[in-house]
């Protein structure tokens, strides 16, 4: 099976712009989660989508949003970019089932730099 793919791998944006990142989960995985990773804050959970619905949400401002399509592919959007949004954005997919032990499989990430 192909792994989790994320596009683009690298992105440079200017403050105030918006950006959309894409994630394709492993075939058959219906849960997709997004994380922000920075040297100072570590891995921080953004949100999780399952069957096109946001199931869990982290503590990020409303500028961060996401969605999931019927084929389980997911996008996250950041509007009005700030310098502090520079980070590695990781997408992870897992099989379904609340209460299951299924692990998350991570993509290689999108490195976003805001100038």
Partner 1 sequence: AQSVTQLGSHVSVSEGALVLLRCNYSSSVPPYLFWYVQYPNQGLQLLLKYTTGATLVKGINGFEAEFKKSETSFHLTKPSAHMSDAAEYFCAVRTRRNQFYFGTGTSLTVIP
The first and second tokens of residue 57, run together, are: 């949400």
Query: Would you tell me how many other CB atoms lie within 10 Å of the CB of residue 24?
Result: 21
- Is residue 78 a contact point for partner 1 (CB under 8 A)? no
Q: Which of 4, 26, 32, 76 binds partner 1 (CB under 8 A)?
A: 4
Nearer to partner 1, 79 or 105 (CB): 105
Nearest to 40 by CA among 2, 84, 10, 97: 84
| Candidate residues 24, 33, 72, 74; the one interacting with partner 1 per rule CB under 8 A | 33
The 3-state secondary structure of 31-42 reads EEEEEEEECCCE
Dig out the tokens for 84 from the structure: 């502090």
Judged by CB under 8 A, which of 11, 20, 30, 55 binds partner 1? 55
Selected from 20, 65, 73, 106, the binder of partner 1 by CB under 8 A is 106
Torsion of CA 51, 33, 97, 53, to 10 degrees: -30
**Residues lying near partner 1 in the complex (CB under 8 A):** 4, 31, 33, 35, 42-43, 45, 48, 50, 55-56, 90, 92, 97-101, 103-109, 111
């Amino acid at each position: 099976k192909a792994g989790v793919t994320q596009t683009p791998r690298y992105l440079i944006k200017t403050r105030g712009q918006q950006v959309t990142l894409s994630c394709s989960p492993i075939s058959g995985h219906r849960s997709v989660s997004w994380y922000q990773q920075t040297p100072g804050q570590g891995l921080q959970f953004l949100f999780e989508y399952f069957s096109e619905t946001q199931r869990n949400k982290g503590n990020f401002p409303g500028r961060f949003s996401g969605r999931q399509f019927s084929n389980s592919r997911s996008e996250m959007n950041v509007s009005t970019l700030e310098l502090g949004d520079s980070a590695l954005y990781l997408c992870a997919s897992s099989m379904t089932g609340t209460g299951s032990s299924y692990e998350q499989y991570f993509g290689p990430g999108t490195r976003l730099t805001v100038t």
